[in-house]
Structure 1
C-alpha cells in the first residue's frame, strides 16, 4: 500500500515559494472559514499571518499528526493557549529575523518623528500653520534598548549614524557582545534614570508582561521617550497614561494594550503620544523574507535536519 503524502499548510500559494521540496502536498490556508483539506493529514502548519488567536489555533485540535508549527512572527504568545491540544514532540518555531529590518526601521522612525515634533507639523500642515521652532535631535541622546535580540541589535545598527549618546543594552540574561556588555533585566532600575530614549523590543513572556509598570516608568527621567515595538502588554497602559497626561514622559507606540486600540480610548488623544497600528513588520520586506525562511525550514524538515528558531517542543 502506497504511503499517503503528508500535507503542509501555507498562507501563500505554493507556486510562489521557489525551491520547495517535492515530498509534501501543499495546501493554502490563511484563516478562511473552510479548511483546505483534512487537518489530520497536516504535518507542518504555517500559521496565518496577522490573524486573531482564535483563527490561528482553530485547526490545532484536529491535527494529531502535526510535527511542526511555524509562525510568521517573532512572537509566539498568540499560540500558547492552543498548544495544549497538540501531541507531545511538536516543535514550535518562530520567524526570528523575518521582521528585523522593518521593525528596526519603524523604531527609528518613531524616535525621530517624536523628537522632531513631526506629528504636530503634520497637523499644522493640515491647518496651513507654519510651526517653526527649536526641536530635539537624536544626536547626543542616551538610549536604552530593552530586549537585545535580533531586533534590538538591528535598532542599534541604525542608531550608529545618528551620533546618539551611549547605547545601553538589556536582555533576559547578561552577556557580552562585540558592541559591549548586555545587562540583565534585574539591572533595569539602575539603568532607567540615565536614558533619554527607552526602546522596548522584548518578546511577550510571563517575565515581560507588565514590565513597563508604574515603578519602571517612575524611574525614567523627566521628558524621556518610551518607544514600544514589542507587544502592547509589555507596558501597563494605565501607568503610562498617568505619566504622559501629567507631561512627565512621552511615548511612541506601535503596539498597545488593548489592541486594536478602540475608539474613545484615552491613549488616542494623550499628549505627546505617537501611535502606529502595529505595522512594525507589515512592509514590502516581509513576504520575500518570509518565503525564503519557509523554503529553508521545509527543506530542513524534509531532510530530517534540525529546524531554525525552535522556541519550544510540546510535551
Structure 2
C-alpha cells in the first residue's frame, strides 16, 4: 500500500515560532518547511507548501510570499484578526484565524486597563517617580456600578463581559447583528450615551473602519473612557486626540492608528491616555495558539 504524501507546512523559523515546530513535528503525515518571514524569496522546496503559518509577531510580513506558493490550500493565522490578510489571500485558499485563542489574555488586559484608569495608576506612578506621597491629590473611581458598552460580541467581548460581573459592573454587548443578549450595531447611537465605559473588541472590516469617529465620541458622557483592544483603524485618531486634549474623555489603547506611533505623536503626551504596544495578547503561552 502506498503511503499518503505528507502535508507540507511552511512554518516561521523565528524564536517565538519554535514552539509551533515542536507541536507540529509530533503530528503524523506532516512535513515542516521552516522559512524566514523577512526573506522575499522562497526556495524550491518551500514553494511546495500547502499550508502557510505566518509568524507570531509581525504576521503580515509573509503576505508577499503568497504568489510563490502554487499549491497553497490554507493560511493559518496565529492572531484573532484576519484583516491584514483578507484582501491578499486568493479565494480558493482557506484563511483561518485563531479566533478565541486570545480571549483570556486580551480580556484580562481590558480589565486591567479599566482599573488602571479608574484607580489613577498613571498619576500615582508619575508621583512615585518624583518621590511624592500623593495622598488626596486626586480622586480615584470604582468599577462597581459602571455601565460598560462592549462593541464586538465575539470570544474576546464575551470574555470581557464575564470578567466585569464580579466587580459589579453591567455589560452591554453589541455585534453586527442582534441575537439573544446582544444588540445590533444599528442600535449603537442610542446606547453610547448611557455608558461610562466603551470597550472596542470588534474586528476591522468595512462596517467598523472609522466607526468611533467624532459623533460617536461626542455622544459619550463627560468623563467616560474608551478602551480599544480591537484595531486602531476603528477609531478616528484625530477625533480622539481632540477629546483627550480637552480633558473630557479618557482612553486606554492597545492598538492605534498609525501603528506604531511616532515618537512625536500627541497621544504619547496626553494625560488621559494609557497606551500599550499592541501587546494585550502577549503573555506566556499565547504563541501556542491555545485558548485559556
Provide TM-score, normalisation by structure 2: 0.91
Cα separation, partners in 2 of 1:44 and 1:62, compared to 1, 3 Å: same
Q: Is the 8 A contact 1:145 1:152 kept in 2?
A: yes
For residues 59 and 226 of structure 1, the distance between their equivalents in structure 2, rounded to whole angstroms, comes to 37
Q: Which residue of 1 aligns with 2:240?
A: 240
Q: Which residue of 2 aligns with 1:163?
A: 168
Q: Is the 8 A contact 2:100 2:155 kept in 1?
A: yes
Q: Which residue of 2 aligns with 1:98?
A: 101
Task: Tell me the secondary structure at the aligned position of residue 88 of structure 2.
Answer: helix
Q: How far has the Cα of 1:78 moved from its partner? A: 1.2
Say yes or no: does 1:137 pair with 2:142.
yes
Q: Which residue of 1 aligns with 2:8?
A: 7
Q: How far has the Cα of 1:157 moved from its partner? A: 1.3
Q: Which residue of 2 aligns with 1:223?
A: 223
Q: How far has the Cα of 1:233 moved from its partner? A: 0.4
Q: Is the 8 A contact 1:102 1:285 kept in 2?
A: no
1:49 to 48, 53, 56: 56
Q: Is the 8 A contact 2:254 2:278 kept in 1?
A: yes
Q: How far has the Cα of 1:75 moved from its partner? A: 0.6
Say yes or no: does 1:184 pair with 2:156.
no
Question: Unpaired segments of 5 or more residues in structure 2?
Answer: none
Q: How far has the Cα of 1:282 moved from its partner? A: 1.1
Task: Tell me the secondary structure at the aligned position of residue 31 of structure 1.
Answer: coil
Q: Of the two structures, which has the highest relative contact order with CA contacts closer than 8 Å and spacing of 6 or more?
A: 1
Q: Is the 8 A contact 1:68 1:93 kept in 2?
A: yes
Say yes or no: does 1:174 pair with 2:178.
yes
Cα separation, partners in 2 of 1:242 and 1:131, compared to 1, 3 Å: same
Q: Which residue of 2 aligns with 1:296?
A: none
User: Residues 90-127 of structure 1, C-alpha deviation per residue, up to 9 Å, x if partnerless?
Assistant: 11000012111010010001000011110111111110
Q: Is the 8 A contact 2:174 2:183 kept in 1?
A: yes
For residues 30 and 22 of structure 1, the distance between their equivalents in structure 2, rounded to whole angstroms, comes to 24
Cα separation, partners in 2 of 1:115 and 1:82, compared to 1, 3 Å: same
Q: Is the 8 A contact 2:74 2:96 kept in 1?
A: yes
Say yes or no: does 1:26 pair with 2:29.
no
Task: Tell me the secondary structure at the aligned position of residue 191 of structure 2.
Answer: helix
Q: How far has the Cα of 1:80 moved from its partner? A: 2.5
Q: How far has the Cα of 1:18 moved from its partner? A: 6.2
Q: How far has the Cα of 1:201 moved from its partner? A: 0.3
1:148 to 128, 153, 168: 153
Q: For 1:115-134, list aligned pairs within 5 A.
A: 115-133=118-136, 134=139
Q: How far has the Cα of 1:39 moved from its partner? A: 3.8
Q: Is the 8 A contact 2:224 2:250 kept in 1?
A: yes
For residues 174 and 199 of structure 1, the distance between their equivalents in structure 2, rounded to whole angstroms, comes to 18
Say yes or no: does 1:89 pair with 2:92.
yes
For residues 255 and 170 of structure 1, the distance between their equivalents in structure 2, rounded to whole angstroms, comes to 20
Q: Is the 8 A contact 1:30 1:48 kept in 2?
A: no
Say yes or no: does 1:63 pair with 2:69.
yes
For residues 143 and 3 of structure 2, the distance between their equivalents in structure 1, rounded to whole angstroms, comes to 64
Task: Tell me the secondary structure at the aligned position of residue 78 of structure 1.
Answer: helix
